[in-house]
Amino acid sequence: MDRTIDWLGGAVVLIDQTLLPQREEHLRVTDVPTLVDAIGRLAVRGAPALGVAGAFGVALAAQAHDPVAERAAFRAAVATVRSARPTAVNLARGVDLALAAADDGFDAVLAAACELRDDEIAASWSMGIRGADLVGALTGPAVTAVTAMTICNTGGLACVERGTALAVIQELHERGRLTEALPLETRPLLQGGRLTTWELARMGAPHRLLVDAAAAAVIARGMVDVVLVGADRIARDGATANKIGTFALSLAAAHARVPFLVVAPESTIDPDTATGAEITIEDRAPDEVIRVRDTPIAAPATEALNPAFDVTPPELITAIVTDRRVVRFDRGERLADVEVGERRTAGAPAPRG
């Protein structure tokens, strides 16, 4: 299976990302509590993939409880899916999208979820192409190939195929315009070390892994042409909640005058959130900090402060690349001037030469 998450034979099938890169195992999930657990322990993660997981979760709920005849039980199951991760707006949106079809029964719910999956695939192609075009425009014709830094995992694993920020890197690589990718390991859960390097190796792109703390210094040394990050939630002012460490990267990029691009599907923009100050930051368990996988790195009783996300203000973002457009903050364009609706990408991706 090439897709990170899909619906196959009455079940949600997904790669268990907590086992990568050592083991590639698929989970076959047939009930809602197992899916909620998988979302909570990050077996499936990444904003677009979480949206699809949420929609498929509603399908699982509808399979277990008829949405009309067993409305209360169905709704209760759906509510547990919706609240499995508080910061990810896509999860709730995926749930709501499938839920809107609930009055027409299970088949309609599943069709809505599959449509979301297909839309996410088309969106990834669109972001990759627009992003690579923008990188070319920002670096100018003299730069034939670029070194791109990125954080966390924003590839096919975070979506359904190709991804968001990593889709741009893949597109640059396929155009022969990538010198090297510099993924950050992304503590505490090391999605960059475990997942992004695995995806870069699979696509044959040259890359070197860095600890998060090295990013700013490597940017300051002039070794990076562009920084590409994803988003978990974007406020209407452009403030972007993303994996912890993203804000630090934006400071370093601004200090060195390196373009800093947020790449995310338009569904990540939350019309109900006016500014970054309104974004709730998820504080996760200290456990993730005081050990690395099974290895303790501090005494067992050590307390930790573990914010999962940070918020990058719009003035530190060069541009936002969505599946439908590029908004150039560096040219004074504002996200607030863009009409962002529930409408999703229409049509199939452009054919590739």
Q: CB of residue 128 vs a second copy: minimum separation in angstroms?
A: 23
Which class for 204: exposed (0-12), middle (13-18), buried (19 or more C-beta within 10 A)?
exposed
Residues linked to residue 11 through DSSP beta bridges, in sequence order: 8
- Of 110, 127, 229, 244, which lies in the binding site for a second copy, with binding defined by CB under 8 A? 244
Q: Which is nearer to a second copy, 17 or 124 (CB)?
A: 17
Give whichever of 29 and 165 is closer to a second copy, judged by the CB atom: 165
Residue 21 interacting with a second copy (CB under 8 A): yes
d(CA 289, CA 293): 10
C-alpha distances in angstroms, 51 versus 31, 95, 177, 215, 287? Answer: 17, 7, 31, 30, 26
Looking at 43-51, 107-115, 120-128, 292-300, which segment touches a second copy (CB under 8 A)? 292-300
Give the span between the Cα atoms of 330 and 75, in whole angstroms.
44
Is there a catalytic annotation at residue 232? yes
Instruction: Specify which residues 27 forms β-bridges with.
Output: 14
- To a second copy, the closest distance from the beta carbon of 151 in angstroms equals 8
Contact call for residue 294 and a second copy (CB under 8 A): yes
Site for a second copy in 113-172 (CB under 8 A): 151
Interface pick for a second copy out of 156, 193, 259, 314 (rule CB under 8 A) = 193
Q: Does 292 bind a second copy (CB under 8 A)?
A: yes
Q: Which residues contact 303 (CB under 8 A, 6 or more apart)?
A: 286
Catalytic residue among 232, 237, 310, 323: 232
Q: Which region among 55-63, 72-80, 106-114, 203-211 touches a second copy (by CB under 8 A)? A: 203-211
Compute the least distance from the CB of residue 241 to a second copy, in Å.
Answer: 10
- Whichever of 157 and 218 has its CB closer to a second copy, that residue is 218
**Helices 89-99 and 47-64: angle between axes, nearest 10 degrees:** 40
Among 2, 9, 22, 352, which residue sits at the site for a second copy (rule: CB under 8 A)?
A: 22
CB 34 within 8 A of CB 58: no
Does residue 232 touch a second copy according to CB under 8 A?
no
Burial 182-201 (b: 16+ CB within 10 A, else e): bbbbbbbbbbbbbbbbbbbe
Query: Quick one: which segment of 27-35, 52-60, 87-95, 186-194 binds a second copy (CB under 8 A)?
Result: 186-194
323 binds a second copy (CB under 8 A): no
Which residue from 69, 305, 337, 341 is in contact with a second copy, where contact means CB under 8 A? Answer: 305
The residue among 168, 62, 167, 174 whose CA lies nearest residue 107 is 62
Residue 77 and residue 30 in contact, taking contact as beta carbons nearer than 8 Å: no
Counted residue by residue, the chain has a size of 353
Which CB atom, from 54 or from 183, has the smaller least distance to a second copy? 183
The burial class, CB within 10 Å (0-12 / 13-18 / 19+), for 118 is middle
By CB under 8 A, the count of residues binding a second copy is 56
- DSSP calls for 175-198: TT-EEEEEEB--TTTTHIIIIIHH
Q: 311, 239 in Cβ contact below 8 A?
A: yes
Among 10, 86, 222, 296, binds a second copy (CB under 8 A): 296
Rule CB under 8 A: say whether 285 interacts with a second copy: no
Residues lying near a second copy in the complex (CB under 8 A): 21-22, 151, 182, 184-188, 190, 193-194, 197-198, 201, 207-218, 220, 243-245, 247-248, 251-252, 255, 286, 289-290, 292-299, 301-307, 310-311
So which residues are the catalytic ones? 232
